[in-house]
Structure 1
Amino acid sequence: MKLATLKDSTRDGKLVVVSKDLTRCSEVGHIARTLQAALDDWAYVAPRLQQVAIGVESGSQPTMRFHEHDAASPLPRAFFWTGGSGGFSGPRDSLSLVEGASDIAVTAQLALITGDVEAQVASADAKDAVLLVLLASDISVGEGRAVSTFSPVAVTPDELREGWNSGDLSLLVRRNGKAFDGGSNGKQEPASVIAAAAALHPLLAGSIIGTGLGKTEGALSIGDTLRIEMNDRTGHSIFGAIEQTVKTRGK
């Protein structure tokens, strides 16, 4: 199942179910108005969303065209993000930095959205807390983190099939159309990174955890265009693309 948040007049946007090929979507406000609302009652809501997803693929569900440019980050704001706190930019929004910004860097990786997780949870129990997977981008300026962004679409782990966390799916990061030199950190068990994040305090449903999977880092300059995506084993985009141009604020 693939989920996205379309921008509207509210902070948290509106939840839609997206087709596997990322071309169509169906509004699901009658089930859950926002992704956070869905995560808060996942055991009840997820099966209903899954039925919509089946209908989207079969043609029995009303749909409209899905445009990645209309999407916010799936969770426009989150209770917890290992890359920092606060709201997030949209995956196609410009990256507006302060005048004179230098030492601009990007870190891209796979991230997880969790359900509720108890503090000091055992790794064996933490695996079931993975509800959704998405791409994450962190932009830092100097020593401080400036902007975090997530892919247009978040997907349930079953969309990635078995072994998705073994590093066999490549994260594609390009600056001005050219690939960054970067590489995977190797195997990272989702359960272990969740357990580490919950070592000192519980995690609320809707927490986002960076995995380090496919982690790529590189330098950026004002005017650069950054594109981050991941394709499945047949070459099709899984999450849609983060594509942003670095600009000076006000220009």
Structure 2
Amino acid sequence: MKLASYKGGHDGWLMVVANDLSVWAPATDVAPTLQYALDHWADVEEDLRILSDALNSGRVKDVEKFDTGNCSAPLPRAYQIADGSAYLNHVELVRKARGAEMPPEFLHDPLMYQAVSDPILAPNDDIVVTSEEYGIDFEGEVAVITGDVPMGATPEEAAAQIRLIMLMNDVSLRNLIPAELAKGFGFFQSKPPSAFSPVAVTPDELGAAWQGGKVHLPLICTLNGRVVGKPNAGVDMQFDFGQLVAHAAKTRPLRAGAIIGSGTISNRDRAAGVACLAETRMIEKIETGVMTTPFMAFGDVIRIEMINDKGASVFGAIEQRVTRQS
């Protein structure tokens, strides 16, 4: 089942999307918003699946051509977003470039920070920044939306509460990060709002690509029309989503609608390319001593998409232009 939110109000209007992303239909008779559906999942899931099946078999009359321009993020605002760093190759490269070793505890204790959850950018919203000097970067990720997760849930219990999966662009302002981390209190100004794919899908929609709490598909990142990376999200992921959700819930319950991100997808195989520019720069620093790849500039366009083994887009694309704050 594929779900999206039509732009409107603070929380959008829930839509069911055809498996091939060709058309969509209102689901508001079942649940007005995605957050409502998540809050009442046990009551509405079956009806949403019935509507989805009817849409995919051509039995729904009230349909429109699917248009990502009319999509907000699946959740235009959320109770919380916690973003992890499950791909240790990314962490190792960043630390190695500055001459630091990776602490051994990173192998069993995930990194995680609290991200901006209101507002959340639509998949085609501009990345609006005051200055290019901030070091504008994209970060291609996978994220999950949970149901209610009790405090202290095990990874298995947490995995059972994963309701939906989507893509994420965790926008980072790289040149603001060092000073913030030096304060010892985490990210804030260096992490503006993130964007999410137009469509969120139930895990069963991924078929064999959803295994072990990971999405085993490549994430295609295209900057200004040039593919910069196709790292596989199921490869080199140290912590699966059950573990990430359980980590977030260790000392607090998560309410339905919590979003947990994977962190930048990163493969040890250099041929896979990158899902952020910082990683390219770190490799340059390690290999040549000099970073030559610039961060994004005003006018640049980043596109993030995941294609299945049939060549079809799974979640639709995040496509954003970097613009100057007026």
Scaled to the shorter chain, the TM-score interval is: over 0.9
Q: Which segments of structure 1 move beyond 4 Å, counting only runs of 4 or more?
A: none
| Deviation sequence 1:164-206 (CA, Å, 0-9, x none) | 2555300011110112247345244221111011112110100
- Identify, as 1 or 2, the structure richer in helix: 2
Residue equivalent to 2:126: 94
Q: Does 1:186 align with 2:262?
A: no
**Deviation by residue 1:135-172 (Cα, 9 ceiling, x = unmatched):** 00111222211120000000000111134255530001
Query: Which position in structure 2 is the counterpart of 1:152?
Result: 198
Question: Counterpart in 1 of 2:141?
Answer: 109
Asked whether 1:220 is paired with 2:317, we answer no
Greater CA drift, 78-87 or 215-224: 215-224
Moved more, 222-231 or 78-87: 78-87
One-letter amino acid of the structure 2 residue matched with residue 6 of structure 1: Y
TM-score of the superposed pair, with normalisation by structure 2: 0.73
Instruction: Measure, in 1, the Cα distance between the counterparts of 2:304 and 2:246.
Output: 27
Aligned residues: 249
* Alpha-carbon distance change, 242 to 186 in structure 1, aligned in 2, over 3 angstroms: same
* Among 301, 306, 321, the residue aligned to 1:230: 306
Query: Which of 284, 294, 316 is matched with 1:240 structurally?
Result: 316
Matched, 1:173 2:221: yes
Determine the structure 2 residue equivalent to 1:77.
77
Deviation at 1:238, TM superposition (A): 0.3
Comparing 177-186 and 164-173, the one that deviates more? 177-186
Percent identity between matched residues is 35
Q: Which residue identity does 1:48 align to in structure 2?
A: D
Structure 1's unaligned 5+ residue stretches are none
Q: 1:110 deviation in Å?
A: 0.5
| SS of equivalent to 2:194 | strand
Secondary structure of the corresponding residue to residue 55 of structure 2: helix
Counterpart in the other structure of 1:119? 151
Q: Residue 261 of structure 2 aligns with which residue?
A: 210
Which is richer in strand?
1
Structure 1: how far apart are the matches of 2:230 and 2:313? 19
- TM score, norm. by length of structure 1: 0.94
The two structures, once aligned, show a CA RMSD in angstroms of 1.6
Structure 2: gaps of 5 or more residues? 84-114, 178-189, 267-274, 278-294
Shift of 1:102: 2.7
Preserved contact between residue 168 and residue 261 of structure 2 (Cα < 8 Å): yes
Are 1:26 and 1:64, in contact at CA under 8 Å, matched by a contact in 2?
yes
CA–CA distance in structure 2, aligned partners of residues 60 and 234 of structure 1? 24
Match of 2:88 in 1: none
Matches within 5 A, 1:28-47: 28-47=27-46
- Bigger mean CA offset, 92-101 vs 75-84: 92-101
Letter in 1 for 2:197: S
Range with greater deviation from structure 2 (134-143 or 13-22): 134-143
Q: For residues 38-85 of structure 1, what are the alpha-carbon distances to aligned partners after superposition, in whole Å with 9 as ceiling and x for unaligned? A: 000001111100000000011111212110111000000001101413
In 1, Cα distance between the equivalents of 2:264 and 2:156?
19
